[in-house]
Structure 1
């Protein structure tokens, strides 16, 4: 289906055990095991080399399995060792393992200004303790609330106070795991700094070519701002052409997400391919000269990587740039090039450089999409034939979109929990605007300083983007434009991939057994999803959320829920910390009330600070609760806003929940009191949400 012989795709075969090794190392991080794995790898490698020198003497050519098993084992262990070595937190040289008063850090990426903070990742180079400096390793996420820091840039060196904390894990059900997201970038700690807690001690200490590319990108973004007026158009142009996402609004992002065109806003393979086609055409004249073909190839490769550098070197861009470079090299040496083998070779090279790329969603989706197009698109295209030339071209475009969407759907549903229904229509709609925007955008970047040319190209670029945005906004608001709240497990998305692969393989060789297996997996998936739906609709309970400075309690009964919170449903923190838990448990009907509101519903009622839910009662104790002479027995007491401890003493409960909005000092005091009096409690301070089932 994608190769006549396995000899055409050696990198595909070699990549599998290497990725498996990386996956095991990430899933089971253990520094002691890593030493053992490294020793085994060295021993196996030496043994394999020795076998190659003595294969004739030992007649090993008669035992091909020995060589194959050795190679696969070495690749598996190599992947494990690469991933283990990348994890800086396990090293004794990590800055968190040293006593420190101050840290010397260098800004490692382009700082972003948002909500009054400037935020950036920083490499920790040295720790300072008693005026003694020691070299260390590690990365730190730094946020500074100081307008004077807004001029900081990549490569600046700072001396900061060593006030940092480990990144918090997700505290609430289905909340995004920001801790793991940063850990995949070797960041395990974060620091919030204010004036006088940092000092700039150096400039331009980063990699010069990266510093230059970031400065150039900022200048080009400023050119967009100078010649264009619509803020959304400027943000889309900066994102599509230069990979600069800082100005992108949530509304624009949602429009592209809900229509299945988000890939347009991520500089990826399609963008690099457009650049390649432009360069390939523009430098065609070099073929007339001696060695012109080689010079043209080298220029294209250099300019492609220059563009990749300008856009931030994302995994998707790296993959495309590396693949195109390999294709150019292969074509210039008149070698047969298998696209899938090149795809695997680029993945192998990138994972050698950074094995944790395998955890990057962009990396996964990019490689899946290109792999799906390489393998499945030809099969899908040949399944239907059209005699009309234009219908055939239309079907060719549709088959590309369908193949890419199908192969990425399970992973997209797992990560983003939605499916764009009109993806085919929206992708066909943006086809022409994207090409126009990219080519006009590149022309603008080259000619923007020429009088009248910059204004004319800026006008054309802005109007093209506005038309595309308005068209996508119309598609976004069509009935059933997007299926949301698609929460699936890892087993579910593996089943989906099994169904998709078997179905396409059936289209390829028409073996009905494959179709039957695909249908069988559909039944298994339906049972799995149905069981979860039934289980969720039959459960009830109370969940006390950890919202840090806010309060939140969820009362769930089947597919209905009442949320008691300081946050409103349209607030960002509500969508981040509360909504995912509701969606993942299949809640359909949600009512949200403030803590001051009284209400009466069939299964729950609240009056004052007393809540009755099914057969449980809950008492809310906060700063407004008054001391009474009557002691009341209740199931649960919820303490927030530093409630008077005398009030807490006045009530007896089976379980007392201490909310995270209480101060550290207050929490320590009340915990000591509860321990002294043998009262059961649960503190939400830096702790996971508490779920108490009612049935």
Structure 2
């Protein structure tokens, strides 16, 4: 590929490789530091002694140095490598915690959630992040960024998923450098009156001021939630129905204030600032104003991670437009990626970051090829073909990632983009005017009513597209290897159509065969697999039996397992789900499973695996003597105090004991 000839692209790829290596092989900071130092010394020596910088040995030392810089950067961000990391002190004892709120997360019906820095433990300065969950209390206001609080509650580790194929929240938070959590109630903490302020806190305060002003205007509540997402990146107030509509219509990117919005804003500013180019050094002045305004908008939007990433990327792209060299687009995109990952290497593992760069790269690469494939002479047709080309290119860029993370594909994505994207510039332009006028208390009612109508119309269009269920393909099973194979297939497809050679067509056909073969093999493997699992669910008991593509759920309260089974059904390619009530005993090949519930009735058979549910009042020693069980299982329907007693008894009797709340779901082998 010709792109690999560009030095910034090659260096960025090796930086990414170093970050991935450091993430999967965690080590102390010493190893990457030494390796970086050695390769830096070698590169400096070669640069001084071996003058031609295009020599193979210098090139090898440069890419090796970049690889180790990536390795070092991810190791430096690992909080465990910091000497004052809070978890290095004994967090199992009650201590005074000084915490600073760094991000407000979306609340649910029962609690409010935040990310926070642990500033000190017992007055000793510390570092590191935790996630705080505070039980909802109508008498307590929401905490804000930069708020500082003191608590004596115990920090606890984040638990891994307890059921198969569930979302791994622990792994997700690990990518953000968060390993522990803190549960609080209103009476468990006090808020300090004069906390120290940061730039992020100041930006958040500005955004909250704007939100307060907007709420005083005559906006429909649902429209206001969309406006907040469009202009300020605040999606916490969007209803689940509206969010699902945008997702099913393939327009969810419109609600995520990121690359699309900043790109449109950049084009608007480019047009408005065009007259400045007539001045002496006008292009440089225009570039400076552009970047200043982009970062000013990021500040008003609260400097969230997604907006900072997008503005950084488009600041580099604005520089590329200033240089006016087509080949620089890839170089500048690679440089922006290099710079962002050098400062924040953990961004590489965030879905939004992956999708943003995949979409922009695909647009830069595929869009020109689509225009060369067909360039209509009619201006109107050409305009809509350009919009469709951008939409197709972006969708091809994010399709594998979307299938991998979200397991669905909106078939009518192009309609949503053709109907909304052409007017997004107007929507954003008017929205920025609304923000400015609301801040100055000069927002007239006719602008409010007009903007209300525009957002309401957009919501109606999205809702109609999302209602076409037959075009929304959901519950698509898609694993990591399929992700890589599909990206390879897309690359081969674009190459085959843009360079119409027999060799490229053969490569594309081989790619299709390999992708289809792996998909069929995965389906066949799933269709012959058989397993029986005791699931974990609070206050409920559930056993599932997978037999090929049919899943049997045995439970007296099947509604509580809908969420747990959804991801399992997708991953295991389940076609049929059958439910039945829970019986007292089952036979699995030569093994027997006995269920003892709150009635405490003993099963007649000995040497079976016993499942204890609903905290039965039994004498466990007598049960063990009578039934001589192979193992005991306790699920989430039991009291924790009772489980602790059972666990101690089994340990004393040297009998295998499995509590699903600690060890996760139990697999019968």
For the criterion TM > 0.5, the same-fold answer is yes
| Distance (whole Å) between structure 2 residues aligned to residue 450 and residue 627 of structure 1 | 73
SS of the residue aligned with 1:448? helix
| Distance (whole Å) between structure 2 residues aligned to residue 156 and residue 363 of structure 1 | 28
| Distance (whole Å) between structure 2 residues aligned to residue 206 and residue 690 of structure 1 | 48
SS of the residue aligned with 1:123? strand
Aligned residue runs from structure 1 range 219-618, under 5 A = 219-284=209-274, 286=276, 294-314=284-304, 316-329=306-319, 338-448=328-438, 453-565=443-555, 569=559, 574-575=562-563, 577-593=564-580, 597=581, 606-607=582-583, 609-611=584-586, 617-618=592-593
8 A contact 1:118–1:149 mirrored in 2: no
Please list the CA deviations of residues 537-576 of structure 1 after superposition, one character each: whole Å capped at 9, or x if unmatched.
222221111224543321222222222346655x6x732x
8 A contact 1:171–1:688 mirrored in 2: yes
8 A contact 2:210–2:438 mirrored in 1: no
SS of the residue aligned with 1:176? coil
| 1:123 paired residue among 112, 117, 125 | 117
| Distance (whole Å) between structure 1 residues aligned to residue 659 and residue 506 of structure 2 | 53
Provide the residue aligned with 1:619 in structure 2: 594
Please list the CA deviations of residues 501-533 of structure 1 after superposition, one character each: whole Å capped at 9, or x if unmatched.
011111222122222122112212212111221
| 1:35 paired residue among 24, 30, 38 | 30
Segment of structure 1 superposing worse, 158-167 or 366-375: 158-167
Question: Cα distance 1:389–1:446, how it changes in 2: closer, same or farther (>3 A)?
Answer: same
8 A contact 1:444–1:454 mirrored in 2: no
| Distance (whole Å) between structure 2 residues aligned to residue 84 and residue 200 of structure 1 | 33
| Distance (whole Å) between structure 1 residues aligned to residue 432 and residue 54 of structure 2 | 57
8 A contact 1:555–1:613 mirrored in 2: no
| Unaligned residue ranges in structure 1 (runs of 5+) | 598-605
SS of the residue aligned with 1:510? coil
Q: TM-score, normalised by structure 1?
A: 0.89
Please list the CA deviations of residues 608-658 of structure 1 after superposition, one character each: whole Å capped at 9, or x if unmatched.
x345678765332222x2445x74337432212222233754545444321
Q: TM-score, normalised by structure 2?
A: 0.92
Question: Cα distance 1:560–1:277, how it changes in 2: closer, same or farther (>3 A)?
Answer: same
Please list the CA deviations of residues 270-316 of structure 1 after superposition, one character each: whole Å capped at 9, or x if unmatched.
21122223333444555566666544432321120121233344555
SS of the residue aligned with 2:160? coil
Provide the residue aligned with 2:610 in structure 1: 637
8 A contact 2:249–2:416 mirrored in 1: yes
| Distance (whole Å) between structure 1 residues aligned to residue 205 and residue 363 of structure 2 | 36
Question: Cα distance 1:306–1:450, how it changes in 2: closer, same or farther (>3 A)?
Answer: closer
SS of the residue aligned with 1:52? helix
Deviation at 1:165, TM superposition (A): 0.7
| Distance (whole Å) between structure 2 residues aligned to residue 397 and residue 218 of structure 1 | 35
| Distance (whole Å) between structure 1 residues aligned to residue 323 and residue 266 of structure 2 | 19
Segment of structure 1 superposing worse, 22-31 or 291-300: 291-300
8 A contact 1:227–1:459 mirrored in 2: no
| Distance (whole Å) between structure 2 residues aligned to residue 338 and residue 483 of structure 1 | 38
| Distance (whole Å) between structure 2 residues aligned to residue 199 and residue 349 of structure 1 | 39
The alignment covers a number of residue pairs equal to 662
Deviation at 1:135, TM superposition (A): 1.3
| 2:641 paired residue among 657, 662, 665 | 665
Segment of structure 1 superposing worse, 273-282 or 191-200: 273-282
| 1:18 paired residue among 15, 19, 28 | 15
| Distance (whole Å) between structure 1 residues aligned to residue 548 and residue 478 of structure 2 | 18
8 A contact 2:15–2:70 mirrored in 1: yes
8 A contact 2:551–2:578 mirrored in 1: yes
Segment of structure 1 superposing worse, 483-492 or 319-328: 319-328
Indicate whether 1:46 and 2:41 are aligned: yes
Indicate whether 1:178 and 2:169 are aligned: yes
SS of the residue aligned with 1:150? coil
| Distance (whole Å) between structure 1 residues aligned to residue 266 and residue 536 of structure 2 | 50
| 1:164 paired residue among 155, 164, 179 | 155
8 A contact 1:433–1:465 mirrored in 2: no
Question: Cα distance 1:151–1:265, how it changes in 2: closer, same or farther (>3 A)?
Answer: closer
8 A contact 2:407–2:476 mirrored in 1: yes
Please list the CA deviations of residues 414-466 of structure 1 after superposition, one character each: whole Å capped at 9, or x if unmatched.
11111111111222122244333222211211223678843222222222222
SS of the residue aligned with 1:153? coil
8 A contact 2:262–2:310 mirrored in 1: yes
SS of the residue aligned with 1:633? coil
Provide the residue aligned with 2:70 in structure 1: 79
Segment of structure 1 superposing worse, 145-154 or 268-277: 145-154
Deviation at 1:162, TM superposition (A): 4.1
| Distance (whole Å) between structure 2 residues aligned to residue 399 and residue 336 of structure 1 | 18
Question: Cα distance 1:202–1:78, how it changes in 2: closer, same or farther (>3 A)?
Answer: farther
8 A contact 2:113–2:132 mirrored in 1: yes
8 A contact 2:608–2:631 mirrored in 1: yes
SS of the residue aligned with 2:192? strand
| Distance (whole Å) between structure 1 residues aligned to residue 536 and residue 325 of structure 2 | 60
Deviation at 1:29, TM superposition (A): 0.8
| Distance (whole Å) between structure 2 residues aligned to residue 247 and residue 463 of structure 1 | 19
Deviation at 1:223, TM superposition (A): 3.1
| Distance (whole Å) between structure 2 residues aligned to residue 284 and residue 252 of structure 1 | 38
| Unaligned residue ranges in structure 2 (runs of 5+) | none
| Distance (whole Å) between structure 2 residues aligned to residue 27 and residue 672 of structure 1 | 37
